[in-house]
Amino acid sequence: MSQTKGRLYGVGLGPGDPDLVTLKSVKALQASSVVAWFAKRGKKGHARTIAEGLIPSGAVELPLVYPVTTEIPHTDPDYNRQLAAFYEEASQHLAEHLEAGRNVALLCEGDPLFYGSFMHPYMRLKDRYDVTICPGVTGMSGCWTANGVPMTWGDDVLMVLPGTLPRDDLAKRLEMADAVVIMKLGKNFQKVYDVIESKQLLSRAFYVERGTMQGEIVMPLAEKTDGQAPYFSMIIIPGEGRRPE
Ligand SMILES: C[S@@+](CC[C@H](N)C(=O)[O-])C[C@H]1O[C@@H](n2cnc3c(N)ncnc32)[C@H](O)[C@@H]1O
């Protein structure tokens, strides 16, 4: 690829604690003259918050602000259309800098290739520009460490589930797993709680909010009886070690 074009860095920043940012990610930031990040309107976003103090002085900051999609149900085709248009436009903004020979660091909470928004511009730009992806400590890793209970023993099967799945899907998949991580709670919290309870897993489950960040909450799920949770939280069910069948 042309030497004059910039390089895109997907910069994984870990779950929140700045001490969990890797040296590779720090070096990628230092090598970039443009620092971009995704955020909701009016919010700084977790990735930019974690990167505080790591942005090179003089770097151009490029916030990529999501369209307001909260009023549109996720099942509405309009939701996906708006998001696709947004990612297309965001990719074009990044491409303008790359085309001009500037290295661009796109900040990512956790790991860039694990449910990360980074993947959308990455898939659009990867064949046109050089890309370096810096992996990050995942949110779930930060959360189970905050919980301090071993997560998988021996042949335990770990399942990662988005809380957005329908109730029946969640129930079926819970039956198959030994250890479970359920992400994307928010409005889905009570549904997920009910399914876990119906599968007699409540006593093994933990709730983690803002794992490794300021304001971290870690508690047994059974004690979380207020029926609500922010999006930035997860439920973890540690495995107990598979017994031979
Ligand atoms: C779009 S995914 C991003 C995942 C991220 N790329 C990673 O590697 O963990 C967002 C979900 O990650 C989970 N999450 C990530 N980091 C977290 C943390 N520090 N504390 C609690 N939940 C977290 C939440 O369930 C949230 O709904």
Decide if pLDDT at 1 tops 60: no
234 pocket-lining for ligand 1 (C-beta < 6 Å): yes
* Per-residue pLDDT, 13: 98
Mean pLDDT of 8-27: 98
Given this model, what pLDDT does residue 78 score?
Answer: 82
pLDDT of residue 80: 84
Q: Please name the residues in contact with 74: beta carbons below 8 A apart, sequence gap of 6 or more.
A: 164
pLDDT interval class at 73 (50, 70, 90): low
Any ligand 1 atom below 6 A from CB of 229: no
- pLDDT tens-digit readout, 144-186: 999 999 999 999 999 999 999 999 999 999 999 999 999 999 9
Average pLDDT score, the chain: 94
Q: Quick check: 69 pLDDT over 80? A: no
Ligand 1 center to residue 207 CA distance, Å? 13
**Is the CB of 116 inside a 6 Å radius of any atom of ligand 1?**
yes
Pick the residue whose CA is nearest to atom 5 on ligand 1.
110
Percentage of residues of the chain with pLDDT beyond 70: 94
In the predicted structure, residue 245 carries a pLDDT above the cut 80 = no
- Report d(CA 238, CA 12) in Å as an integer: 25
The model carries a pTM of 0.94
Domains of the chain from N-terminus onward: 7-137 (3.40.1010.10), 140-237 (3.30.950.10)
- Answer for the pair 3, 129: CB distance below 8 angstroms, yes or no: no
Q: What angle do CA 136, 182, 9 make, to 5 degrees?
A: 20
Which protein residue has the closest C-alpha to ligand 1 atom 25?
183
Closest to 162 measured CA to CA, from 137, 136, 195: 195
- Residue 115 Cβ inside 6 Å of ligand 1? The answer reads yes
d(CA 59, ligand 1 centre) in Å: 27
